[in-house]
A and B are shown apart, each in its own frame.
Chain A
Amino acid sequence: MSIDLTLIWALLLATTVFLYVVMDGFDLGLGILFPALHGKVERDVMVNSVAPVWDGNETWLVLGGGGLMAVFPLAYAVIMPALYMPVILMLLALIFRGVSFEMRFKAETPGAQLWWDRAFSWGSYAAAFCQGIALGALVQGIRVENHTYAGGWWDWLAPFSLFTGAALVIGYGLLGACWLVLKTEGELQDRARRLARRLATGTLACIALVSLAMLILQPTFRERWLTFPSILLAAPVPILVALLAKRLFTGLAESERQSQAGVRAEERQVLWYDGVPFLCALWLFLLSYIGLGISMWPLVVPPSLTIWEAAASPSSQRFLLVGAAVLIPVILTYTGCVYWLFRGKVRAGVGYH
């Protein structure tokens, strides 16, 4: 037995999906915050803070979807029909969100600007909600018979999936608010901090509720979390979530003290104080994701389909891995370059599109 290519691919695709979730998460989060932040200048700064990176962030969605089709064709063939409605609605919402990035700056009247702002915000809400629904519907299980999807086109609709939809909207809102704490200053930053506090409380409540629901949902999930020895692996996750939550709130308080002190600290220090909440929010997402992985492993489509059953032939996997080995470092490099180039605070009136 040589290297388990399927395992490598599963980890690679899990990483890709996670990168998509957090990166598009914070820029969708800005649209989610739009109803709370009204001013034209504020909204321009918000949009400009992600303008150079948002479409790069969505690369990972394409890579995740393409990778799933190529390497786990059976999973793709089951998941896509099962989640047809939420996926289509998400794509339509992303069209509006993406177009309004440019069009809201071209609007000639306040009325037109308002409609493009609505397109941006509603698109962000709908995309985040549909992604949450897709996650919930996948986790609660998809009916598979004879290697095909055996359900209808409304099977995704359930109280649990609607709740995970709402939870992801709140979670993305938290990422967006923490991003604004990092990227802005002055009054907008103060308001972002206040929003971040409320959204952090909401996100933590959602994490707790979804975690409890997961235990009821599938006996295998419950077994993972409550029996020895897998509990040794699972138990640190909620403990780390609690510690991170505490650090997130102290981080927000420190950032507030720094900005109110009025003393202009060194740039590196500012970056640290204002960056901690965002870092904590990212880690909250990572831990939730790891928690999900602990429950689902090694299933790719609960309740029955494992990664090995859904995988393509080893030769396909090997062929694609060569491409990925070239492509992923390239993507990571240019992504890193862009984030580095546009580091620091975003000022009003400065934008790159």
Chain B
Amino acid sequence: MGPAGLAAVTAGWITTEAGRQPFTVYGLLRTANSVSPVAAPAVAASLTAFVVVYFLVFGAGIWFLFRLFSQTPHAHEPGPPRGQPIRTAGITPAPAVPSGTITGHAQQAAGE
């Protein structure tokens, strides 16, 4: 089921973009009239550059993820730190921080 979400999103996106043709704004603006005055080689060059950079950066990220996956847990490994934030943002599988336990930690470390 892993890639199903990705496939659904991509299929939906292709349906919207292709189904709207030959309009950019349906019934109001033709795609041919909304093309920006950028030379074709410039578009080709930027697309190629983005593909290369995404492969490099995502490649490095995925390589790093696989490195993390390949590590098996050690016996008696200490868990994530308790009672203090371990990230500034984002949804993580980390334990929720019990309320009232963050007592000026960040201020103390950064400010003074």
CB-defined contacts of A153 to chain B, threshold 8 Å: 38-39, 41-42
Partner of A152, one of B39, B50, B57, B107: B39
A77 close to B (CB within 8 Å): yes
Separation of A52 and B111 alpha carbons in the complex (Å):
13
In whole angstroms, what is the CA distance A322 to B53 when docked? 38
| One of B38, B60, B106 near A84 (C-beta < 8 A) | B38
What 1/0 flags go to B59-77 for Cβ under 8 Å of A? 0110010010000000000
B110 proximal to A (CB < 8 A): yes
**Does A81 contact B107, Cβ atoms closer than 8 Å?**
no
Cβ of B50: which chain A residues have Cβ within 8 Å of it?
Answer: 92
**B107: min CB distance to chain A, Å:** 6
Cα-based distance from A312 to B99 in the complex (angstroms): 48
| Interface size bracket, A side | 20 to 34
Please tell me if the beta carbons of A344 and B88 are within 8 angstroms of each other in the complex: no
In the bound complex, residues from chain B placing their C-beta under 8 Å from that of A344 are 110-112
Residue-wise, chain A 329-344 has the 8 Å CB interface mask toward B (1 for contact) of 0000000000001111
Q: Is A221's beta carbon under 8 Å from chain B?
A: no
The answer to whether the Cβ of A85 comes within 8 Å of any Cβ in the partner chain is yes
A353-B37 contact in complex given A88-B49, A96-B57, A106-B64, C-beta closer than 8 Å: no
Closest to B88 in A: A352
Contact of B53 among A92, A346, A350 (CB under 8 A): A92
Q: Is B36 interfacial (CB 8 A cutoff)? A: yes
Q: Is A95 an interface residue (CB 8 A)?
A: yes
Q: Does A61 contact B (CB under 8 A)?
A: no
Tell me the residues in window 69-96 of chain B with beta carbons closer than 8 Å to chain A beta carbons. 87-88
Interfacial chain A residues near B61, Cβ < 8 Å: 99, 103
Closest A residue by C-beta to B67: A108
Given A52-B88, A80-B36, A88-B46, also A352-B106 (CB < 8 A):
yes
Give the shortest distance, in Å, between B74 (CB) and chain A (any CB): 17
A85 to B39, CA, bound (A): 11
Cα distance A267–B110 when bound, in Å? 13
Residues of A within 8 A of B4 (CB): none
- Chain B residue nearest to A89 (CB atoms) is B49
Chain B interface size, under 10 / 10 to 19 / 20 to 34 / 35 or more: 20 to 34
Task: Give how many A-B residue pairs fall within 8 Å (CB-CB).
Answer: 62
A49's nearest neighbour on chain B, judged by CB, is B110
Q: Are B111 and A342 in contact (CB under 8 A)?
A: yes
Q: Closest Cβ of chain B: how far from A282's Cβ, in Å?
A: 21
Contact: B49 with A103, CB < 8 Å? Answer: no
A residues less than 8 Å from B67 (CB atoms): 108
Does A149 sit within 8 A of B, measured CB to CB?
A: yes
User: How far apart sit A95 and B50, CA to CA, in the bound complex (Å)?
Assistant: 10
Docked-complex contact A350 and B36, CB < 8 angstroms:
no
Q: In the complex, are the beta carbons of B36 and A341 less than 8 A apart?
A: no
Q: Do B64 and A103 touch (CB < 8 A)?
A: yes
Highest count of chain A CB atoms <10 Å: which of B38, B39, B87: B38
Which of the listed residues B38, B60, B110 has the most CB atoms from chain A within 10 Å of its own CB? Answer: B110
B28 at the interface (CB under 8 A from A): no
Which residues from B are CB-within-8-Å of A250?
A: none
Residue of A nearest to B53 (CB): A92
Residue numbers in B under 8 Å from A352 (CB-CB)? 88, 106, 109-110
Contact B57 A95 (CB under 8 A): yes
What B residues does A103 contact at CB under 8 A?
60-61, 64
Chain A residues with CB below 8 A from B57, complex form: 95-96, 99
A99 to B36, CA, bound (A): 30
Residue pairs across A and B with Cβ atoms less than 8 A apart, 24 shown, are A52-B88, A52-B110, A77-B36, A81-B37, A84-B42, A89-B49, A92-B53, A95-B53, A99-B57, A99-B60, A99-B61, A103-B64, A106-B64, A108-B67, A149-B36, A149-B37, A153-B41, A342-B106, A344-B111, A347-B109, A350-B110, A352-B109, A353-B87, A353-B88
